Structure 1
Amino acid sequence: MDSPSPLWRGAAPLLLASTSPTRRALLTSAGLTVETQAPGVDERAVEAACAGLGPVDLALRLARAKAEAVAARAPDRIVVGADQVLECDGVVFHKPADAAAARTQLARLAGRTHRLHAAVALCGGGHPPESFVETAHLTVRPLGAAAIAAYVGLAGPAATASVGAYQLEGLGIHLFTRIDGDHTTILGLPLLPLLARLRARQLLAF
């Protein structure tokens, strides 16, 4: 458990229904006391059960599924679940399985604007569950096969570690011509609206 934060007023640490080090780092850097727990949700099974949902509603459903799974095991805790869906021209993309899949995915994103829908669900603490989604728009510059291969080779594991085959905090920044959206949304956990909701529940010192 992290050391208690003077900012966090919850009786127990915030429980993040994710093992994502990026999401945990966002919360701890904002001064929150956080614990993590893997939700154990089969994302592709949830997606298959929700066939026909648009990308925004799918992101919300996945975030809720994660939060609800952990809240069921820890009903007295305040739980945050999050998920992110990448959509381009109406097609939902998933995390590439390997370098070849990353190259294929980047070729499809090249020269286009795609959307990252980052959804968050909040459960517990005696309040009704609530959820929201924030969207960022990212435009990938035109890329030829050689440039894509060079990037994937240099990026290494980072090219298969996220849904977009890139990490903006690393070499992925070279792929873009324009980015519209909050940085924390792009990283998968929109902090400003989440903090506002925690503040409304009197869980923050100010």
Structure 2
Amino acid sequence: MLILASQSATRKALLADAGLRFEPSPAQIDERGLEAEVLGKGGDAPAVARRLAEAKAVAVSTSRAGVVIGADQVLASDGELLHKPADLDAAARQLDRLAGRTHHLHAGIALARAGRLLWSSTESAALTMRRFDAAEREQVLALEGPEVLASVGAYRLEGASIRLFERIEGDYFTILGLPLLPLLAALRQHAPETLSQ
């Protein structure tokens, strides 16, 4: 059995579209505590993303039989990690902060079984937002609605937020928070039975 340690609608859709049968089972971990631990040991944003994905996969695999996919995404801008906005006002402030600049998304991905880590990786992408005015920002947020609150960047490339971007460098699936090609390769190596269910 394949288990996704997440309730992310985007991650669930990506796995389903890839023809994988799975069950969602969100992990309960102290994300900010783990982030502080990694950074306190000199780790960087990609290391935080990887550690969070590993922790989620291992945590769920201790109570669920099967192979567990853990995933997490970290946004780094000018050396600072940004998190999901609490509300649309916070989303507007976050978008203003990213306007006219390049930021990086780091997506951690991991596989675990029976409390043991099988594999993990981190993929990264660079995204540049163009400069935009408040009216453009508000129009995009009105079109997107509260769905942007589920994103560390307060945007969705698969939605109207794409209007705010100037350049994107990196894998699309990584940007959406689930590096699908490395994950499929890892499943072929560590759990090929999950691809034939």
Instruction: Sort the Cα spacing of 1:29 and 1:137 in 2 relative to 1 into closer, same or farther, 3 A.
Output: same
Instruction: Sort the Cα spacing of 1:117 and 1:101 in 2 relative to 1 into closer, same or farther, 3 A.
Output: same
Task: Give structure 1 regions of 4+ aligned residues with deviation exceeding 6 angstroms.
Answer: none
Q: Which runs of 5+ in 2 are unaligned?
A: none
Q: Contact 2:53–2:108 (CA<8 Å) still a contact in 1?
A: yes
Q: Say which structure is richer in helix.
A: 2
Q: Which runs of 5+ in 1 are unaligned?
A: 1-11
Report the equivalent of 2:133: 144
Report the equivalent of 1:98: 87
2 CA distance for matches of 1:46 and 1:68?
14
Match of 2:63 among 73, 86, 109: 73
Report the equivalent of 2:168: 179
2:17 maps to 1:15? no
Match of 1:34 among 22, 47, 69: 22
2 CA distance for matches of 1:23 and 1:112?
27
Report the equivalent of 1:7: none
For 2:44, give the aligned amino acid.
G
2 CA distance for matches of 1:24 and 1:170?
17
For 1:139, give the aligned amino acid.
T
CA offsets per residue over residues 3-45 of structure 1, 9 Å max, x none?
A: xxxxxxxxx2x11111112111111111111111011123123
CA offsets per residue over residues 120-157 of structure 1, 9 Å max, x none?
A: 01112798521001111111011223322332233211
Identical pairs, percent: 53
Report the equivalent of 2:148: 159
For 2:170, give the aligned amino acid.
G
1 CA distance for matches of 2:56 and 2:38?
15
SS of 1:51 mapped into structure 2 = helix
Shift of 1:86: 0.6
TM-score where L is the length of structure 1:
0.87
2 CA distance for matches of 1:126 and 1:162?
28
Instruction: Sort the Cα spacing of 1:125 and 1:198 in 2 relative to 1 into closer, same or farther, 3 A.
Output: farther
For 1:60, give the aligned amino acid.
R
Report the equivalent of 1:6: none
Instruction: Sort the Cα spacing of 1:142 and 1:80 in 2 relative to 1 into closer, same or farther, 3 A.
Output: same
2 CA distance for matches of 1:126 and 1:103?
40
Q: Contact 2:58–2:115 (CA<8 Å) still a contact in 1?
A: no
SS of 2:50 mapped into structure 1 = helix
Report the equivalent of 2:36: 48
Match of 1:57 among 39, 47, 50: 47
For 2:22, give the aligned amino acid.
V
